[in-house]
């Protein structure tokens, strides 16, 4: 399971890359492997606000519909349009081409709840998988 | 809820990386390598399913035929030895108890194959309908395992493991006492994928060895172990109904579009009066196929909307791997059931455009109807 050390992670299996007050977010390698083949992504809408911990994106595999929860709150400043026509990039490159959105962090305190790569690795092991 | 059951192949699935889920009270793999890859393997080469969760009931006795004729809607008297028939089994009101396959062993012995999630209910229903018929019913589900080898290369693969001439086994026929890889089996040319293939019934204790032998014989052909995920997408593209979705106690066979398996003139049977009435007056609802023309995937239970109101419900919907489209089946009011009809599917609170298309969505080349 690929868990890059430079990223932060939520307990809902999203990754966060922090650059100043902006956070690029996506789903983890573990999340994409659990979801299976992604066949549809309802990307978030740019210039809207999201609340930390609430659904801001919908990912559908062949079998199931899953909400993706915002790992940080704030304004969505950029979205990955490529997911609309090529949702499979979420499986193929979850930490790269498969990113979901860039969020302008409203409250830095949200970052305190995120996990380091070691903590996240421990978390998914303890989840029983 | 009782604890989920394991098939004789549970350990085999774990060893081969099957991702286990619970389905109809059974622990079975939803996928191995991935639903899309497994789906493609069955359409283009071959896939091997564990379907040991399916139920089997033996019906024996001098009144076996009369008992079955009363129980199901199709005309069982048309079966000849070693032929198989698909049929709904209905309640008095025409709602469906289950859909099943009947294998005729001989004049006084039939094997009835039923859905896993319905075994207890069907068994109960059969007991209640025994009446004065001279029949002996035996639930052999637990000691019977079943493998489904499906795909265009299924015959080539299986022919390596048996001396039986599979070429002579036609669609919806079976052969008992066939030796496959040294094990005694019953094989039928049937399936639930829209492809050619075989269903192989064996003793539970032989299942793991048989699985291994078939996988080894199939390796050069690109055979993959496949799970319930692609079983659903494959049957869905072929528009084969699934109990609990297109079929239920609240949906009749005529509404479900499987009226050709209801023989109203064969003599008395459960549901005959209700179904005759429906046929005379026309059904109020029908199962239709549709394609989502807007953006989104329809899922079971989503509302179907037209003229500002709800006109039906999606019964199955997903991304169809062979067609590469988001399509579905829905139970809608008859006036909205014509091919070309436009309506909307309510997806997460938004109406997304859809249009009725012909069924089935997928048909293999040269397929018999």
The tens digit of pLDDT for each residue in A11-57 reads 999 999 999 999 999 999 999 999 999 999 999 999 999 999 999 99
Tell if the CB–CB gap between A62 and B299 is shorter than 8 Å.
Answer: no
Q: What pLDDT shows up at residue B365?
A: 81
Q: What pLDDT shows up at residue A128?
A: 62
- The CATH 3.30.70.1400 domain(s) of chain B lie at 55-137
Please identify among residues 290-319 of chain B the ones whose CB lies closer than 8 Å to any CB of chain A: 295-297, 299, 318-319
Tell if the CB–CB gap between A36 and B35 is shorter than 8 Å.
Answer: yes
Residue A127, pLDDT > 80, answer no
CB-side exposure of B74: number of CA atoms within 13 Å?
17
- Optimal mutation site among B20, B36, B295, interface A, most CBs of chain A within 10 A: B36
User: Out of 2.60.40.10, 3.30.70.1400, 3.40.50.720, 3.40.50.300, which CATH number does the structure's domain B55-137 have?
Assistant: 3.30.70.1400
- Summarised one tens digit per residue, pLDDT across range B159-205 is 999 999 999 999 999 999 999 999 999 999 999 999 999 999 999 99
d(CA B125, CA B341): 39
C-alpha triplet A48, B350, A27: angle, nearest 5°:
50
Average confidence (pLDDT) over A79-90: 96
d(CA B169, CA B172): 9
Percent of chain B residues topping a pLDDT of 70: 98
Tell if the CB–CB gap between A65 and B319 is shorter than 8 Å.
Answer: no
Residue A87 falls within a domain, yes or no? yes
Reported residue count of chain A is: 129
Q: Which of A37, A65, A84 sits opposite B299 (nearest CB)?
A: A65
- Summarised one tens digit per residue, pLDDT across range B262-282 is 999 999 999 999 999 999 999
What's the mean per-residue pLDDT of chain A?
Answer: 95
A38 contact residues in B (CB cutoff 8 A): none
Of the candidates B4, B1, B42, the residue with the CA atom closest to the CA atom of residue B228: B42
Q: Angle at which helices B35-44 and B228-237 pack, to 10 degrees?
A: 60
Phi, psi dihedrals of residue B227, rounded to the nearest 5°: -115, -175
**pLDDT range class, residue B369, cuts 50, 70, 90:** very low
- The CATH 3.30.1360.120 domain(s) of chain B lie at 5-52+142-237
Residue B48, pLDDT > 60, answer yes
Residue A84 falls within a domain, yes or no? yes
Whether residue B101 contacts residue B122, with contact meaning beta carbons closer than 8 Å, is answered with: no
Tell if the CB–CB gap between A40 and B319 is shorter than 8 Å.
Answer: yes
What's the mean per-residue pLDDT of chain B?
Answer: 96
**Strands B309-320 and B303-306, bridge-based pairing:** antiparallel
pTM of the model: 0.93
Residue A97 falls within a domain, yes or no? yes
Domain assignment of residue A81, given as a range: 8-126
Tell if the CB–CB gap between A62 and B348 is shorter than 8 Å.
Answer: no
Of the candidates B133, B134, B79, B141, the residue with the CA atom closest to the CA atom of residue B110: B79
Q: Where are the beta strands (DSSP E) in chain B?
A: 5-6, 19-23, 26-31, 47-50, 55-60, 84-90, 96-106, 109-114, 136-139, 144-150, 174-180, 183-188, 197-203, 224-225, 285-292, 303-306, 309-320, 325-333, 342-347, 350-357
- Optimal mutation site among A33, A34, A37, interface B, most CBs of chain B within 10 A: A37
CATH match of B5-52+142-237 with 3.40.50.11540: no
CA B284 and chain centroid, separation: 25
Tell if the CB–CB gap between A62 and B35 is shorter than 8 Å.
Answer: yes
Number of domains in chain A: 1
Q: What pLDDT shows up at residue A126?
A: 87
Q: Omega of the bond prior to B360 within 30 degrees of 0, cis? A: yes
- The Cα of B244 is separated from the nearest Cα of chain A by a number of Å equal to 16
Residue A1 falls within a domain, yes or no? no
For chain A, where are the alpha helices, taking DSSP H only?
A: 29-35, 82-85, 89-92, 117-126
Q: What CATH number is attached to the domain comprising A38?
A: 2.40.50.100
Tell if the CB–CB gap between A62 and B326 is shorter than 8 Å.
Answer: no
- Summarised one tens digit per residue, pLDDT across range B3-15 is 899 999 999 999 9
Residue A73 falls within a domain, yes or no? yes
Residue A2 falls within a domain, yes or no? no
Tell if the CB–CB gap between A39 and B319 is shorter than 8 Å.
Answer: yes
**Strands B26-31 and B84-90, bridge-based pairing:** unpaired
Whether residue B183 contacts residue B202, with contact meaning beta carbons closer than 8 Å, is answered with: yes
**Token digits of residue A81:** 């349009």
Whether residue A35 contacts residue A68, with contact meaning beta carbons closer than 8 Å, is answered with: no
Q: Which of A37, A58, A60 sits opposite B35 (nearest CB)?
A: A37
Residue B52, pLDDT > 70, answer yes
Domain range B284-357, CATH architecture: Beta Barrel (2.40)
- The CATH 2.40.30.110 domain(s) of chain B lie at 284-357
Residue A46 falls within a domain, yes or no? yes
Q: Residue A104's beta-bridge partner residues? A: A22, A75
For B137-206, where are the alpha helices, taking DSSP H only?
A: 154-158
For B219-366, where are the alpha helices, taking DSSP H only?
A: 228-237, 272-281
């Amino acid at each position: 399971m690929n868990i890059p050390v430079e990223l932060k992670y939520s307990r809902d299996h999203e990754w966060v890359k922090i650059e100043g007050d902006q956070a690029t977010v996506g789903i983890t390698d573990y999340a994409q492997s659990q979801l299976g083949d992604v066949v549809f992504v309802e990307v978030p809408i740019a210039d809207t606000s999201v609340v930390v911990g609430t659904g801001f994106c919908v990912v559908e595999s062949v079998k199931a519909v899953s909400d993706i929860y915002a790992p940080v709150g704030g304004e969505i400043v950029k979205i990955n349009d490529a997911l609309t026509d090529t949702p499979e990039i979420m499986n193929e490159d979850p930490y790269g081409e498969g990113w979901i959105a860039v969020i302008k962090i409203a409250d830095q305190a949200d970052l305190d709840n995120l996990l380091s790569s070691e903590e996240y690795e421990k978390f998914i092991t303890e989840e029983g998988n | 809820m009782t604890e989920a059951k394991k098939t004789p192949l549970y350990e085999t699935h774990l060893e081969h990386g099957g991702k286990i889920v619970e389905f109809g009270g059974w622990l079975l793999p939803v996928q191995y390598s991935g639903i899309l890859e497994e789906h493609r393997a069955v359409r283009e080469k071959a896939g091997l399913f564990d379907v040991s969760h399916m139920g089997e009931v033996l019906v024996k006795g001098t009144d076996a035929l009369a008992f079955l004729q009363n129980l199901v809607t199709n005309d069982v008297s048309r079966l000849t030895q070693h032929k198989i028939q698909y049929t709904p089994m209905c309640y008095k009101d025409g709602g469906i108890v289950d859909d099943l396959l009947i294998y005729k062993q001989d004049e006084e012995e039939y094997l009835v194959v039923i859905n896993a999630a319905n075994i207890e209910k069907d068994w109960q229903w059969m007991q209640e309908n025994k009446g004065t018929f001279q029949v002996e019913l035996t639930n052999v589900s637990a000691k019977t395992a079943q493998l489904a080898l499906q795909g265009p290369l299924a015959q080539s693969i299986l022919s390596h493991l048996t001396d039986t001439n599979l070429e002579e086994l036609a669609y919806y026929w079976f052969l008992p006492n066939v030796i496959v890889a040294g094990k005694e089996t019953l094989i039928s040319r049937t399936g639930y994928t829209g492809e050619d293939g075989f269903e192989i019934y064996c003793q539970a204790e032989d299942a793991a060895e048989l699985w291994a032998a078939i996988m080894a014989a199939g390796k050069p052909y690109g055979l993959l172990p496949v799970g319930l995920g692609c079983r659903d997408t494959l049957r869905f593209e072929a528009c084969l109904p699934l109990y609990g979705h297109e079929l239920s106690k609240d949906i009749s066979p005529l509404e479900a579009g499987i009226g050709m398996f209801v023989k109203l003139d064969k003599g008395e049977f459960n549901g005959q009066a209700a179904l005759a009435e429906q046929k005379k007056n026309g059904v109020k609802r029908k199962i239709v196929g549709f394609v989502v023309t807007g953006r989104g995937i329809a899922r079971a239970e989503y509302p179907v909307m037209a003229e500002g109101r709800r006109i039906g419900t999606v019964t199955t919907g997903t991304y169809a791997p062979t067609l590469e489209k988001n399509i579905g089946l829905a139970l809608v009011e008859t006036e909205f059931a014509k091919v070309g009809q436009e309506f909307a599917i309510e997806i997460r609170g938004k109406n997304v455009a859809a249009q009725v298309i012909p069924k089935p969505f997928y048909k293999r080349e040269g397929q018999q109807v």
